[in-house]
Chains A and B, each alone.
Chain A
Amino acid sequence: MYVYDEYDQRIIEDRVKQFRDQTRRYLAGELSEEEFRPLRLQNGLYVQRFAPMLRVAVPYGQLTSRQARMMAKIARDYDKGYAHISTRQNVQFNWPALEDIPDILEELATVQMHAIQTSGNCLRNVTTDQFAGVAADELIDSRPWCEIVRQWTTFHPEFAYLPRKFKIAINGSTSDRAAIEVHDIGLEPVLNEAGDLGFRVLVGGGLGRTPVIGAFINEFLPWQDLLSYLEAILRVYNRYGRRDNKYKARIKILVKALTPEVFAERVEAEMVHLRGGSNTLTEAEVQRIAKHFVDPDYKALPDFGAELAELDKQHPGFARWRTRNTLAHKKPGYVAVTLSLKPTGVAPGDVTDKQWDAIADMADRYSFGQLRTSHEQNIILADVEENRLFAMWGELRENGFATPNIGLLTDMICCPGGDFCSLANAKSIPIAESIQRRFEDLDYLFDIGELDLNISGCMNACGHHHVGHIGILGVDKKGAEFYQVSLGGSASRDASLGKILGPSFAQDAMPDVIEKLIDVYVEKRNEDERFIDTYQRIGIDPFKERVYAANH
């Protein structure tokens, strides 16, 4: 975990002072609504349906137990006792009062946290794989690179007023758990023939109204040039991205208009001037940052396979949970544990203040005092000893985190939707809940296997519906809330966008629709095929026929 030095600390304290004064001037009428809006957005503050929403940054999903306790405190003291994990690994508070925001920021600053650039048309929070640093398939630890990029993005003077928001994701593993292909910039490590580290650079991916899988414009960027190259991309975008229509302002539209080849040439033309300049990263700086992410004090542990197999036999529930909610670790004897925030009946990603405290305590006792948030809206304790898993499972059950559904149908990604968000066309949380209820039977759920079901309450796509194996989008149909279903999306390596199944459905039809889709899959699947594999083999028609058959 990166620890602030006096410079980092001063920057966020200066921000608190600045925002306190901006809020004061706004409340005094010295700043108009229009003048204040971009300022508050760049500090994560939305004006929502019922109250402001404050989005607190969790840079690349890393938290300490101390910071988790601060989430509990803010939920308790300034909100209604809960907070929400967003699909960008951030934490959202839905009920703070505008007047309290400066005080909340001041409290956050005491634990090296802030809300900087979590919204607005600027460089947003950098995201990565929630298993960075512990995954068995890791090429590099992406976290030091995320921190280097975080510092570069923080209050970048040239790029604070971009045409539109800008999201960067970094992957460090063979699998892509960071969904880099649907980001404005995606980075992943690559070694050249000499064994030197570089990055493959993708631009122009994104969801929203016009979903696009990005294009790789550089197959080997030497790591030293990382910041110069980001600066070059952002300068081209800042100057030439469209500003006349906010729906055409993302970099994906510019890349498409120019073609990725021409865009790459423009970036290279900038690089001619920037290459070798003062932004060139140094070994010393990478080392300075990387030393914050060295392995914790792992023990040399024996293999617990036999003991765990025995426990599995005695406790089928434990076995089930272990299959779904733990992931192989690079260090023998350790596993990464995912706490499911998707039990039926709870809005996906919501965590109460008591749960935050419980998570913090468990992080201290089981996982070196650290935790992570994931873009799938769950929490991870990444360094748990296998021989303590059984005890931990008991505690997780008591606290409501042991639903064994990670990666399964009921582990849905879901935006806050029309219950909270003023942009939404339709509610999303009740849809999630009605589907969860339909698939509550664990044997059935396990039999269906891995399936990403993503729900967005509007076409801004915060619930990533385009890249769900099954995607659900809330739409407005003559003032009523309807739901459009798409199939075949994927955010993993070789990402793809879902295809729309057909006309939209009423809310109460949704569990039946999903069940019919699942029936088709169960009937047609070959052994070991996941839903997405079957879909890719048989296409959309069999699903379409089944779902719409009853309507004729």
Chain B
Amino acid sequence: MQRIIKNNQVIDETWHLLPKETTFDEISNCDDLIVPLVMWREHGHALKARDGGLGVWLDSDEEAEELGEDVVHFQVIALNFPAFTDGRSYSNARLLRDRYGYKGELRAIGDVLRDQLFYLHRCGFDAFAIRADKDPYEALEGLKDFSVTYQSSTDEPMPLFRRR
């Protein structure tokens, strides 16, 4: 079973992440599912009526605006990093949190590595599915890289100049 980092701890994964090509007919009623954005677009009503938990995932070229006020329907929103150098999901994360007020789990998936965790956490991610070949316990250390930050961000709404 995959393990993920959530709220600074390594825990067992209980959600199923569905690939983009999954069809609506294949999915179970009771499992906790993270569905691709396209499925949410097409079957939103039916997905809300299921018994299992509901999450959605966005690729880095999909926009937070597509969810907009709908964020209230999700327990998990996962944002993909096709490569850790693709920084678009940082902006999506901030929009989901700061603009649309999303309060549920915000999870980084894909090429997620220790050396980006500090920035990811600052942008509102609270869960990290570390790439399978890396040790999540070791990756936890990445959350402690810096003890001071200059900018306002999702984790700290006041910039340092309003705190120093």
Task: Enumerate chain A interface residues (CB-CB to B < 8 A).
Answer: 5, 7, 10-11, 14-15, 18, 22, 31, 35, 38-39, 121, 151-152, 154-163, 227, 235, 238-239, 243, 273, 277-279, 281-282, 285, 288
Closest 10 CB pairs of A and B: A161-B87, A157-B122, A157-B119, A285-B161, A151-B150, A158-B90, A14-B146, A278-B152, A10-B148, A7-B148
Task: Give the size range of B's interface with the partner.
Answer: 35 or more
Q: Are B94 and A158 in contact (CB under 8 A)?
A: yes
Chain B binding surface, main DSSP class:
loop
Q: Are B123 and A10 in contact (CB under 8 A)?
A: no
Known A-B contacts A155-B146, A282-B161; A35 and B153 likewise in contact (beta carbons under 8 Å): no
**Most B CB atoms within 10 A — which of A35, A238, A239, A278?**
A239
**Most A CB atoms within 10 A — which of B113, B115, B119, B158?**
B115
Q: Can you pick out 19 interface pairs between chain A and chain B where the beta carbons lie within 8 Å of each other?
A: A11-B148, A14-B148, A18-B145, A18-B146, A22-B115, A35-B113, A151-B161, A157-B120, A158-B90, A158-B123, A238-B90, A239-B88, A273-B99, A278-B158, A279-B159, A282-B161, A285-B161, A285-B162, A288-B161
Chain A's closest residue to B150 (CB) is A151
Check B160 for interface membership: any CB of A closer than 8 A: yes
Check B91 for interface membership: any CB of A closer than 8 A: yes
Check B9 for interface membership: any CB of A closer than 8 A: no
What are the interface flags for B139-164 relative to A under an 8 Å C-beta threshold, 1 for contact and 0 otherwise? Answer: 00000011111111100011111101
Specify which chain B residues have a CB less than 8 angstroms from the CB of A31 in the assembled complex.
115
User: Which parts of B103-132 form the interface with A (CB within 8 Å)?
Assistant: 113, 115-116, 118-120, 122-123
Q: Are A121 and B85 in contact (CB under 8 A)?
A: yes
Q: How long is the Cα–Cα vector from A15 to B160 in the complex, in angstroms?
A: 17
Specify which chain A residues have a CB less than 8 angstroms from the CB of B24 in the assembled complex.
none
Known A-B contacts A121-B85, A238-B88; A14 and B147 likewise in contact (beta carbons under 8 Å): yes
Specify which chain A residues have a CB less than 8 angstroms from the CB of B146 in the assembled complex.
11, 14-15, 18, 155
Contact of B164 among A7, A15, A154, A156 (CB under 8 A): A7
How many A-B pairs have beta carbons closer than 8 Å: the answer is 99
Q: Are B85 and A278 in contact (CB under 8 A)?
A: no
Q: Are B91 and A158 in contact (CB under 8 A)?
A: yes
Specify which chain B residues have a CB less than 8 angstroms from the CB of A11 in the assembled complex.
146, 148-150
**Most B CB atoms within 10 A — which of A7, A157, A227, A278?**
A157
Q: Are B151 and A38 in contact (CB under 8 A)?
A: no
Known A-B contacts A18-B145, A158-B90, A238-B88; A35 and B159 likewise in contact (beta carbons under 8 Å): no
Q: Are B145 and A14 in contact (CB under 8 A)?
A: yes
Known A-B contacts A14-B145, A151-B150, A155-B150; A278 and B84 likewise in contact (beta carbons under 8 Å): no
Specify which chain A residues have a CB less than 8 angstroms from the CB of B159 in the assembled complex.
152, 227, 278-279
Q: How long is the Cα–Cα vector from A279 to B94 in the complex, in angstroms?
A: 15
Check B86 for interface membership: any CB of A closer than 8 A: yes
Chain A's closest residue to B61 (CB) is A243
Q: Are A161 and B86 in contact (CB under 8 A)?
A: yes
Contact of B157 among A154, A158, A235, A278 (CB under 8 A): A278
Specify which chain A residues have a CB less than 8 angstroms from the CB of B122 in the assembled complex.
157-158
Chain B's closest residue to A236 (CB) is B91
User: Which parts of B36-78 form the interface with A (CB within 8 Å)?
Assistant: 63
Known A-B contacts A5-B164, A39-B115, A161-B85; A155 and B149 likewise in contact (beta carbons under 8 Å): yes
Contact of B91 among A22, A151, A239 (CB under 8 A): A239
Output the least CB separation between A26 and chain B (Å). Answer: 11
